[in-house]
Amino acid sequence: MSKQHNFDEFFESAMRQDPGYGLPKSFLQGVNDRIARKLAFRIQLKMLGRTAIVLALLTVAVFVGNYVVNAFFPKYAEFTISGYVVAGVSFLILFLLFMDRVVLGYLENRQQEHSGM
């Protein structure tokens, strides 16, 4: 035990040796595809969020417009749009966009991922 070992030399020599195995040629393509799918999913979620904000603002604008017409112009109250109908239509549009862009896109990517293996 009189001899001291320098573990840095062992580590460096081990790191310089060929490990004897390699990654498959399709590895980089698979990683790129997964990254692209995740980025596309995030972009779709952001777009859906923006659409939800726009629809919510339109619904609020209809409610405010109905209040203004009913408060200041009661003779035109029969021409207002029901805020609940607008809220329902906005929810339906948001649901359809969510199913179309996010869920179907996710399922398509999962199917491609499993068929590619």
pTM: 0.60
With respect to residue 11, please indicate whether it lies within any of the assigned structural domains. Answer: no
Closest CA to 70 of 85, 83, 57: 83
Give a yes or no: residue 69 inside a domain: yes
Q: Are 85 and 63 in contact (CB under 8 A)?
A: no
Contact 65, 16 (CB under 8 A): no
Task: State whether residue 6 is helix, strand or coil.
Answer: coil
Q: Which two tokens mark 42?
A: 């995030």
Q: Which domain holds residue 32?
A: 24-116
Instruction: Please check whether residue 9 lies inside any domain of the structure.
Output: no
- What total of structural domains would you count in the chain? 1
Q: What is the pLDDT of residue 80?
A: 81
Residue 86 within a domain: yes
Q: For each successive 10 residues of the chain (117 residues), what is the average pLDDT?
A: 64 77 81 84 86 88 87 85 83 85 75 67
Work out the burial of residue 116: count CB atoms within 10 Å of its CB; fewer than 13 is exposed, 13-18 middle, 19 or more buried: exposed
- For residue 9, the model assigns a pLDDT of 78
